[in-house]
């Protein structure tokens, strides 16, 4: 099974081959977040089916992931469905707290790959570290800006207030983060600049992972956070928080390479096949999410009466989408 290719003009989205990028999406907030998959960015076509490698000796690799969130749905699916094993990968998956720990794990050699934010890749590149992103995991920002009900009430803003007013209402807020300088910290500070405020208009306080950060909001230790679902919906459900700025309300966040699979070039260049197998497992999960979600929506809407064969050939192809030039 391949990944999903999207053309440069955005006219074709579907379960296509691994010659390009993948994109997954669909209506419905939670479904859309779970379905967002970007595709492989590894060099060369990955045309061999993953199951072909199942009989080969497995390669032990460690992958660190920066936080629990629906944004990493392809990683969860690939692990649950055994796609890494099918690719001959003995995966040691480890959850760490924030980008700083992930960067340290890659730099120190205790992990070969990280599933984390594009911020990590850019940070490492600007520091001269030989980082290389080899697969995309989400093709859009997925972090909602969440505040306590008390904070929103005191500033008289709601999720329906104009976007500028909602951003201005964050001035002075204490925002919980897993690590200083990580994506939630950076993106919250960037939001301040969009309304003419200093990046220091908010304060970032290191709390920990999503459970710790939600607890901190509940008890008033911090006023809010930027995190991907299910954190925002959960605090709303429990009644002490509100999703003040859904990520899609911010135009720049709608087309944004948020999460990727990355590692260091020396390891990747020495182990190109291992890299392909790891990336292909995630692409296969992207396809499963896309195909199941797309058919589910069409079945439940009444557009079709029964499922379809989603393999390339019967009703879609990417043979006319080769050699797409860069913009």
148-194: per-residue pLDDT in tens? 999 999 999 999 999 999 999 999 999 999 888 888 898 999 999 99
Residue 190's CB: how many other CB atoms inside 10 A?
13
User: What pLDDT score does 294 carry?
Assistant: 65
Q: In the chain, what are the domains?
A: 5-140+256-301 (3.40.190.10), 144-252 (3.40.190.10)
- Out of 10-14, 226-230, 268-272, least confident range: 10-14
- Work out the burial of residue 313: count CB atoms within 10 Å of its CB; fewer than 13 is exposed, 13-18 middle, 19 or more buried: exposed
Instruction: Quote the CA–CA distance of 3 and 83 in Å, as a whole number.
Output: 13
Which is higher by pLDDT, 125 or 49?
A: 125
User: What pLDDT score does 66 carry?
Assistant: 85
User: What pLDDT score does 325 carry?
Assistant: 58
Whole-model pTM over 0.85: no
Instruction: Quote the CA–CA distance of 242 and 245 in Å, as a whole number.
Output: 9
Beta bridge partners of 148: 241
Coil, helix or strand at residue 62? strand
What are the tens digits of pLDDT across the range 89-137? 999 999 988 788 899 999 999 999 999 888 888 888 888 889 998 888 8
| Cβ–Cβ under 8 Å, residues 15 and 4 | yes
Q: What is the full DSSP assignment across 280-318?
A: HHHHHHHHHHHHHHHHHHHHHHTS-SS----STTTS---
């Amino acid at each position: 099974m391949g990944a999903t290719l999207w053309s440069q003009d955005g006219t074709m989205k579907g379960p296509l081959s691994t010659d390009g990028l993948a994109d997954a999406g669909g209506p419905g907030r939670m479904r859309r977040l779970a379905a967002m998959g970007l595709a492989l960015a590894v060099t060369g076509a990955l045309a061999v089916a993953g199951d072909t490698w199942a009989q080969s000796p497995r390669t032990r690799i460690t992958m660190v992931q920066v936080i629990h969130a629906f944004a990493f749905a392809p990683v969860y699916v690939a692990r649950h469905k055994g796609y890494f094993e099918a690719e001959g990968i003995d995966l040691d998956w480890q959850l760490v707290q924030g980008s700083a720990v992930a960067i340290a794990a890659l730099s120190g050699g205790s992990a070969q790959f990280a599933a984390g934010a594009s911020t990590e890749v850019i940070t490492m590149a600007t520091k001269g570290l030989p980082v290389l992103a080899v697969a995309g995991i989400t093709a859009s920002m997925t972090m909602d800006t969440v505040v306590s009900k008390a904070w929103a009430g005191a500033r008289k803003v709601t999720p329906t207030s104009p976007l500028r007013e909602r951003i201005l209402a964050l001035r002075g807020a204490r925002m919980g983060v897993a690590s200083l300088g990580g994506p939630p910290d950076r993106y919250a500070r960037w939001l301040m600049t969009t309304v003419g405020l200093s990046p220091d208009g908010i304060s970032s306080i290191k709390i920990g992972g999503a459970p710790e950060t939600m607890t901190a909001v509940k008890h008033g230790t911090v006023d809010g956070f930027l995190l991907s679902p299910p954190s925002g919906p959960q605090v709303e459900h429990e009644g002490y928080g509100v999703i003040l700025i859904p990520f899609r309300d911010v135009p720049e966040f709608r087309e944004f390479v948020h999460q990727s699979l990355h590692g260091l070039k020396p390891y990747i260049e020495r182990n190109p096949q291992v890299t392909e197998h790891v990336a292909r497992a995630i692409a296969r999960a992207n396809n499963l999410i896309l195909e199941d979600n797309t058919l589910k929506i069409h079945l439940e809407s009444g557009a079709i009466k029964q499922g379809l064969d989603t393999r390339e050939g019967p009703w879609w192809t990417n043979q006319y989408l080769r050699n797409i030039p860069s913009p």
